[in-house]
Structure 1
């Protein structure tokens, strides 16, 4: 970080909190943010985050152990709040002494934050906040840091852009709290801007998805390299009674199939064959399967190509260390020009 003194100074609160060299987190991308990419990001000075997604406790246990075998640097675990075995997953993280747990997908259920922070190996809690009111509520409820993520991001998204969220939340919260900014970040100049506004650091997903160390299928990566920003579109909600969080992905047959899946789930909801929570879980399982088809099997027509709008900036595979170095260099040069 001696090479990037201005950026390091602005990131200091974030790096002290994360225990990493740079306050650059990797977004938790199911099937992508696994042991290889996570350890590479942490080894390069960033902060890798395992995407637990729909993993069972046993699978998460193995993934954390495998990641720890590849890096001695800090990394976190992202848990989905609606996972039916959330508290078992928290226990797995606690057994391994995971330093940071990221809770995503909704308001943390009662007792979950306390379980993460109150075990024999207490961890820091990072939550996603789509609105200022919810941000304040999460901080009162024990969140140690927040990620504010705009609609430009890939995967599950909210309705407001990153720049608007940053303008609304950073002036209000950043003096007393740790706020990380995410969504649509592809270059270091943007990182510099958010740091100057008070962010403790940033989170990037799409930028790392096609790194050399990413296990994503070559055809998945090629689809990213061919795409422009406007190819990354948000899914449409079919039924107002089924509150499905929109997902941003490259448009293909898979995005059309999701519309049909929503209709199917809405129908069984109509017939009262499942409860709302189970219906939403079916949607989540659909995404997990569709994403696997794209990332692991390389089915870029029928699988889910979750990508943020920064995808248009990706042109080739790069080692994670080079990506982090480029982002830091661009940030430092931008700050030097001020």
Structure 2
């Protein structure tokens, strides 16, 4: 840590909150943020986060146990708020004494934050607006991630740079706030730390790490991609609110448009209610992402990636990625 005194000083609150050497979280990427990558990030001084996604409680139980076998460092678990077994998943986190739970994908349902805090874990939330962020933080959430539209996967409509200017002056003095979306170098980490962030979250930068189990063809698609190739999905039916997803454009992107039409018809015919319709969409993404990450189907699968994909050029060990980021940040701060 003495190698990066300026960066570590600005990260002090985030490092203390996470219990890590560096306040660098890995974004929860379904099928990618599993035991191997999570453990490697935590062992490298960052903070790995298991992406629970559509896992059953039994699968999450096994994944946490397997991660613990690979690292004795702190790591967290990301839970999707609309998961039908959310409170059972919280119970699994309690069983394992997980120290940090990230609630993502929507407003935390009543009692969920309380259930997590009841066994001593810290709660990290996302919020698309400043008003909601303040409400969640004052209602028990311990930290906030502000994630801009440059990010991969499910995104909001506003860029990271604008969110940082809006949220950090209002919240950073009192609360732990991490910035995410479009961060691929230590120079950007330094900039957000200087604005008051407690730390940062990166996903795309770690997706193709040596320890990532992503298929070689999935990684090659990232290495070839330009920033403009990571496009957002289009909402087909205004009655069916769909959170936009950023991914590399391919046939899978077109298949999602068709899936929305199919779900909208099911909604019209009364075969599903709105909650079930949204779960249909989530299951589509889970399946499409698995085909890309695990099977290497880069045409029909979902290549979720942030616009910082243009900065991912080769497969590197996690420890090297973290070292580069910290060196770049320290150099940037040293030039000030």
The answer to whether the superposition gives a TM-score over 0.5 is yes
- Deviation track 1:89-140 (CA, whole Å, cap 9, x = no partner) reads 0000001000000000000000000000013xx2000001111011011112
Q: How does 1:172-183 map to 2 (within 5 A)?
A: 172-183=170-181
Q: Per the alignment, in what secondary structure is the counterpart of residue 181 of structure 1? A: strand
Paired position in structure 2 for 1:35: 35
Report the Cα offset of residue 2 of structure 1: 0.7
Number of aligned residue pairs: give it. Answer: 336
- What is the aligned counterpart of 2:307 among 288, 306, 309? 309
Report the Cα offset of residue 330 of structure 1: 0.2
Q: Distance in 2 between matches of 1:306 and 1:113?
A: 28
Q: Distance in 2 between matches of 1:242 and 1:41?
A: 37
Paired position in structure 1 for 2:47: 47
- What is the aligned counterpart of 2:143 among 142, 145, 161? 145
- Deviation track 1:255-291 (CA, whole Å, cap 9, x = no partner) reads 0000000000000000111110000000000000000
Cα RMSD after superposing both structures: 0.4
Gaps of 5+ in 1: none
Q: Per the alignment, in what secondary structure is the counterpart of residue 203 of structure 1? A: strand
- Deviation track 1:142-173 (CA, whole Å, cap 9, x = no partner) reads 11000000000000000000000000000010
Paired position in structure 1 for 2:289: 291
- Deviation track 1:26-48 (CA, whole Å, cap 9, x = no partner) reads 00000000000000000000000
Gaps of 5+ in 2: none
Report the Cα offset of residue 76 of structure 1: 0.0
Paired position in structure 2 for 1:86: 86
- Provide TM-score, normalisation by structure 1: 0.99
Q: Distance in 2 between matches of 1:197 and 1:315?
A: 28
Q: Moved runs in structure 1, 4+ residues, more than 3 A?
A: none
Q: Distance in 1 between matches of 2:138 and 2:14?
A: 20
Q: Per the alignment, in what secondary structure is the counterpart of residue 254 of structure 1? A: helix
Report the Cα offset of residue 243 of structure 1: 0.4
